[in-house]
Amino acid sequence: MKTKSLTVLFVVMFFSSILQSQTLSPTVISSAGGFYTSANVMLSFTVAEMTIVKTFTSTGNILTQGFQQPESMSVDIQETTVIPGDILIYPNPTNGNFTLTYTSKSNQENTIKMYNLVGQMVFTKNVSQLAGTNTVTFDISSYSQGIYILELNTLNSKGEKQTTYSKINLVY
């Protein structure tokens, strides 16, 4: 009985010494991501980390296990380059005051419309455009910060009606 107790005690001490010799630190090594900490909160993330993650914690130590994608993936919108004679909006992003410059092939009355991202029309402006380059200034500083879509109708070189949509980023 005494030998059995000593054997159990020896095995427990052996495994506890192995467990005590391991140290863990809250470090994430990845190709993309970050680590942020404040007085009460700690956040670490990696790009494309799967949601099947298990985290083990003890006093001062954190171990996170999970799967990592082998490459960074993103979703983006390809924007077209500005060609001379096309629509130009500046400055964009804007604090509310911006200028629209565009070319028209005819003299006509035109309505420029602005929509929010839900598709609601939030602004209209009637302009008398001339054949050639037209410049229109806007003040939308009273609107909420966000992305808006500007709709402009012009005539192309063939005399056909052309509708163009441009993105405006309103920031403060």
How many independent structural domains does the chain possess?
2
- Laid out side by side, the sheet with 97-104 consists of 88-90, 97-104, 132-139
Which pLDDT score, from 0 to 100, does residue 36 have?
67
* Mean local confidence (pLDDT), 86-91: 84
pLDDT band with cut points at 50, 70 and 90 for residue 32: low
Torsion sign over Cα 119, 120, 123, 127: positive
CATH of the domain at 138: 2.60.40.2550
Establish if 93 belongs to a structural domain: yes
* Average pLDDT across the chain, whole number: 75
Residues 94, 57 within the same domain: no
Quick check: is 8 in a domain?
Answer: no
The candidate with the shortest Cα–Cα distance to 22, out of 60, 76, 71, is 60
Domain extent, residue 51, equals: 25-69
Kindly state whether residues 104 and 150 are assigned to the same domain.
yes
Cα gap 77→145, rounded to integer Å? 20
pLDDT in tens, 89-118: 889 889 999 999 988 877 888 889 999 999
**pTM of whole model > 0.85?**
no
How far apart are the C-alpha atoms of 135 and 103, rounded to whole Å?
Answer: 9
